[in-house]
Amino acid sequence: MRRIGSFLSTHAWARLTLLLTAPLAWLVLVYVVALAALLLTALWSVDSFTGEISKSLTFANIKEIATESLYRTVTLRTIGVALMVTVIDVVIALPIAFYMGKVASPRARRLLVVAVLTPLWASYLVKAFAWRSLLSEGGLVDWVLNPFGGGSPGYGLTAVVLTQAYIWLPYVILPIFAGMERVPDSLVEAAGDLGASTSTTLRTVVLPLLLPSVIAGSIFSFSLTLGDYISVNIVGGANQMLGNLVFTNVGAANNLPLAAAIALVPIIIMLGYLAAVRRTGALDNL
Amino acid sequence: MTLSPLTRRVLAVLTGLVLVLMYAPLLVVVVNSFNQDPSMTWPPEGFTTKWWVRAFHSDGARDAVLTSVQVALASTAVALLLGTLMAFALQRFSFFGKNTVNLLVILPIALPGIVTGIALNNAFRGILGVQLSIMTVVVAHATFCIVTVFNNVIARLRRMGGNLEEASADLGAGVWTTFRLVTFPQLRSALLAGGLLAFALSFDEIIVTTFTAGSGTTTLPIWILNNLFRPNQAPVVAVVAVMLIVVSIVPIWIAQRIAGDAETVR
């Protein structure tokens, strides 16, 4: 043990190899290989008579997704929902995170962090189901809004946006709050001392420093919404998102190659998003 | 920047309002667990504890909790080991392809669960020819849990710097002794926070689990999904949910007490 130790302390490459081998092997063997295989599977096809998978390569699935209007509609709908959820969550999270990070006393801050974290532990499904009962006919939302002439939006895309925004909110608040804590008080004070108004300080000092954290939070809400099919089933009525199409093709329709091809759509969207935000340093804030 | 008392109050009220919105649906779940009417209309019709009694006698729920705890513990253990190793490698060294490796750690959580799910399902069944089981769930969960441990440890390593370790080495301690007496004690709370988050992530995961669990493996989320739409089971699910929320306050509180600052809870 001691000999190994002294060898390691003089050979940096040996230390790096020892550290990197296991996690890198896991990620490559489990994840990269699986993704590559998925890409390959998307080029296979299913024999419509026997239901067997034919392993000769064809672009038929990709072509179908690129040309059929169903996939375009569902893709646009899914991106729309994911964008709405992300915008709602960021707009809500910014003032909360600002209050937690820069206004509240340390004691209140600790309590608030616990208060924001606790709902994370409540089951995702139970939260989705809670919204189902909230939005149901004669549910709490109806009960509160009916006296004012309003009412529940019912099950549909609005309900999906509300439910998803609710479920992923803590995931957006936490990175933004952590980013807010890293904004130095001295810079904020300096801006004030130099005559900047509160809104100027927020716009020109706080927000630019906060941007990577905001993007980090948005990656969570955007990606988590992009692949969701379960809350759509619970509160979405008859609407379908990309996840539903993948799920039906794996299960009921028994067309794994087509499902794999559809799954490429969110992969491409997310890789594009990650590539676009990479320069901002957001990926270090996840 | 000096905030006017009015702005402070507005912010405080906004924060309070959002917390109310965050907790109202959970409160509805609590109320529904005591609601006599299993279809859960509002306002509730009467008080009953029969759902609680039934939940405590439900073998299905108990087995599902046990399965979920096993899966979460195993995948957290793997994630702790791999995430820590990876964090050391990326923080202490610079090498060719470092950015790609960094992206690789993030990818399983940045790509939607359905992608991870179908990719692993395809790899296990189609390529490796492995039967789906509790082991395949653990492998899948561990893969996306690595990033939570990695993030906590690497943030801690950045703040620690290398001075204490260098001092330890200068004073004659070997690699292992330095790790045991100097590095590890400083990492402990980051490991705890990352581990807790990994546990929570695994415990609540449904989408990847659906694709990687065999028919014999029922984790708690799968049990919930199976029972959610059964007329007389929905309130029992509500009971289980309430118990989980109550139990979850303990680890969060511990993490807060040990960490003392908010950074490590991410």
Model confidence at A115: pLDDT above 80: yes
Is there a domain that residue A13 lies in?
no
A220 Cα to chain B: minimum distance (Å)? 7
pLDDT value, residue B264: 42
DSSP readout, A1-21? -HHHHHHHHH-HHHHHHHHHH
- Distance of alpha carbon A123 from alpha carbon B245, whole angstroms: 8
Residue whose entry in the numeric block shows the structure tokens 């009467």: B46
Split at pLDDT 50, 70, 90, the class of B263 is very low
Q: Which ranges of B126-219 does DSSP label H, i.e. alpha helix?
A: 134-160, 163-170, 175-178, 184-204, 207-212
Classify residue A157: in a domain, yes or no: yes
Among A133, A194, A226, A270, the residue to mutate for chain B (most B Cβ within 10 A): A133
> Does A147 map to a domain?
yes
CA distance B94 to B81: 21
pLDDT at A154 over 70: yes
Structural domain includes residue A248: yes
CB contact under 8 A, B25 and A130: yes
Q: Does A133 touch chain B (CB under 8 A)?
A: yes
The rounded distance, in Å, linking the Cα atoms of A125 and A103 is 34
Assess whether pLDDT exceeds 60 at residue A62. Answer: yes
Distance, CA of A214 to CA of B242 (rounded, Å):
31
CA distance A198 to chain B (A): 6
pLDDT at site B262: 42
Residue B10 forms part of a structural domain: no
In a domain, B18, yes or no: no
B53 domain residue, yes or no: no
Cβ–Cβ under 8 Å, residues B33 and B44: no
The model's confidence at residue A52, banded by pLDDT at 50, 70 and 90, is: confident
- Structural domain boundaries enclosing A243: 71-285
Per-residue pLDDT band at A161 (split at 50, 70, 90):
very high
Domain range for B255: 60-265
Q: Looking at beta carbons, which residues of chain B come within 8 Å of A195?
A: none
Assign 3-state DSSP to chain B and report helix, strand, coil percentages, each to 5.
Answer: 80, 0, 20
Please indicate, yes or no, if residue A18 is contained in any of the structural domains: no
Within a domain: A276 = yes
pLDDT in tens, B117-127: 999 998 998 78
Number of domains in chain B: 1
Q: How would residue B216 be classed by pLDDT, with cut points 50, 70 and 90?
A: confident
> Does the residue A153 lie in any domain?
yes
| A230/B225 Cβ within 8 A | yes
Instruction: With a cut of 70, say whether residue A57 has pLDDT above it.
Output: yes
A203 near B CB under 8 A: no
Q: What is the pLDDT of residues B77-128, one digit of tens each?
A: 999 999 999 999 999 888 888 888 998 998 998 898 899 999 999 899 878 8
B238 domain-assigned: yes
Buried/exposed code over A231-269 (b: 16+ C-beta within 10 A; e: otherwise): bbbbbbeebbbbbbbbbbbbeeeebbbbbbbbbbbbbeb
> How many residues in chain B?
266
For tokens 């940045």, what's the residue? B110
Structural domains in chain A (count): 1
In the predicted model, is pLDDT for residue A220 greater than 80? yes
Asked if the Cβ–Cβ distance from A166 to B86 is below 8 Å, we say: no
Chain-chain contact of A112 with B15 (C-beta, under 8 angstroms): yes
Contact A130 B151 (CB under 8 A): no
User: Cβ distance B199 to B72 under 8 Å?
Assistant: yes
Does the pLDDT value for residue B260 go beyond 60? no
Can you give the CATH number for the domain in which B258 is found?
A: 1.10.3720.10
d(CA A155, CA A158): 7
The model's pTM is: 0.86
pLDDT score at B67? 95
Task: Select from B126, B132, B112 the least CA-distant residue to A263.
Answer: B112
Q: What is the mean pLDDT of residues A87-115?
A: 91
Residues A131 and A153: their CA atoms lie apart, in Å, by 12
CATH assignment of the domain containing A154: 1.10.3720.10
Average pLDDT over residues B162-171: 86
Compute the average pLDDT of residues A266-283: 84
Q: Measured between beta carbons, which residues in chain A are less than 8 angstroms from residue B12?
A: 99, 103
Residue B116 contacts by C-beta under 8 Å, 6 or more apart in sequence?
A31, B108, B140, B143, B144, B208
CA dihedral A161, A162, A165, A167 (to 10 degrees): -120
